[in-house]
A and B are shown apart, each in its own frame.
Chain A
């Protein structure tokens, strides 16, 4: 049974930032939604409420960065780059300020629909010079995201999980590395964020079907160790399947495709994720099933790559985990 950790970011951020006067915590009217309400109450001198004004907040953070502060900006991912994109580029990324952009509710982890789902952020951030991109896939990674981000000399985009988060790993994020979760030689599976847990759900069913899976989890998307990925691709016979909580254009599927094309690798690649579509609002397991981001979608993708069916159904997969609602009054929502 997987260990579930409640609000790991709340605990980790406070432990990291408390008493460090160079760290400032910025919020845009989503303080409890980004789990920094406790920090606000206990460390008011390090907390700045900017109101619902993201453009101002980003350039303001660039100014703080010029003066030597390391601002940690908190809001939902979408609101941190769609509206204030120009401010992000000109006030933070180009001058290479040490601003840590903590983007909550990545991809379909919110029921809020199109306006609240950051489905193309990795694509956007990959194309910004000076930007580093980290994504959390479990509680240990959430617990180590602050140190990891703050080790970078420049801006860092972080996809952060909130609420009740499973613990899948026992070592912290080491920026620039990737996690090797299994070392099979038939198919390479590449996942990041919440799709890693999905791939792990399919592990035993795929093994029972006689497939030897090599599974890589990415917490660092930029910079990226292309050499190591190519070594893994060279270790499998049939090809690569990527699964991402993001559109397939510009995300980790594209990253793998570019790496293969640049090196002249002629293996098959199946990229799973949101396919040129906005997502509906709805609960996360529902959306992951509907848009083909879950364990069963991975199995079907592998079948497609192999050109054969393995007779695996939902019943053969490890049970999907349904998040606890942390209170009936304040349901996990927006």
Chain B
């Protein structure tokens, strides 16, 4: 089974910050970006890529690597800098982000991006794709894991539950769903728009092993990864990460206005300074 790298918490925290600041920087190149959906999964991506995934960036096609499918493809802006940082490609290529002809668009394209296992952008597909990859691995006698990062908005799509049912049915023990439970879809709170709770019970009833933790608390994230059972147990696994949409930038936290946005001028500088100072405890504004 995969052996997690022994990376310090400080490094992982720093890489989560890097994911956020790069998201802000690249959004300025594009003129718009998906800030808040990316900020909510910054710690998840940091822990996954810098500690958990069994990968070799010098060999992106290595047969035994762990696979990763970013089902919530609009957060690709946070993934590209990580892939570059790990050596899949020259970080300078990101200066072309979203420009015509660039390999790096608003949604990720596996035919263009080195190190990307699958394309996405149309929500709801990723868990089925991940299941296919996971079962292919079983047929080919591989022991890699397949991780799928899901948004909570896309949990409303029927295909997600078709995949959840099939994964339980086929006992896909090497499939790991990572749910970025940031609470918001575009129109509002998921529980107002299309409720998905009790989400762990729902997965459990489909034959999945379930965990739930704070997705911004890196020790908890690492602990959840460490608790993933050996794939041979035959139970697909889901970790529900409770997160805050827009986490790290006060004005964006749990705001509906920053799903897509564009920071310019002083706002850009203010947000970069806020991110540079590191995460502050999350505070919910008292209701008026």
- Mark A residues whose CB is within 8 Å of B: 27, 29-33, 49-56, 78-79, 82-83, 111-116, 280-282, 286-287, 290, 325, 328-331, 333-334
Besides A29-B185, A30-B187, A52-B194, 12 new A-B residue pairs in contact (Cβ under 8 A), listed by A number: A49-B192, A51-B153, A52-B156, A53-B158, A55-B158, A78-B122, A115-B107, A116-B107, A282-B100, A329-B258, A330-B260, A334-B32
Q: Considering the chains assembled together, what is the distance between the CA atoms of A282 and B32 in angstroms?
A: 11
- 15 intermolecular pairs with C-beta atoms under 8 Å apart: A29-B185, A49-B192, A49-B193, A52-B157, A52-B194, A82-B122, A83-B122, A112-B107, A115-B120, A280-B100, A281-B105, A281-B106, A328-B264, A330-B260, A333-B260
Contacts of A83 in B (CB 8 A): 122, 124, 159
Contact in complex: B121, A113 (CB < 8 Å): yes
Contacts of B260 in A (CB 8 A): 330-331, 333-334
Minimum distance in angstroms from A194 CB to a CB of chain B: 18
Partner of B153, one of A29, A49, A50, A116: A29
Contact in complex: A331, B262 (CB < 8 Å): yes
| B257 proximal to A (CB < 8 A) | yes
Q: Report, nearest first, the 4 A-B pairs whose CB atoms are least far apart.
A: A51-B194, A115-B121, A51-B156, A331-B32
| B74 proximal to A (CB < 8 A) | yes
Q: Considering the chains assembled together, what is the distance between the CA atoms of A325 and B32 in angstroms?
A: 11
Partner of A29, one of B106, B107, B156: B156
Minimum distance in angstroms from B99 CB to a CB of chain A: 8
| B198 proximal to A (CB < 8 A) | no
A-contacting residues, B173-193, CB 8 Å:
185-187, 190, 192-193
Q: Considering the chains assembled together, what is the distance between the CA atoms of A180 and B140 in angstroms?
A: 63
A281-B98 CB under 8 A given contacts A29-B186, A49-B187? yes
Contact in complex: B122, A33 (CB < 8 Å): no
Which of A33, A53, A115: most chain B Cβ within 10 A? A115
| B66 proximal to A (CB < 8 A) | no
Q: Considering the chains assembled together, what is the distance between the CA atoms of A29 and B259 in angstroms?
A: 12
- Considering the complex, give the chain B residue whose CB is closest to the CB of A287: B100
Partner of B100, one of A33, A286, A328, A329: A286
- Considering the complex, give the chain B residue whose CB is closest to the CB of A111: B106
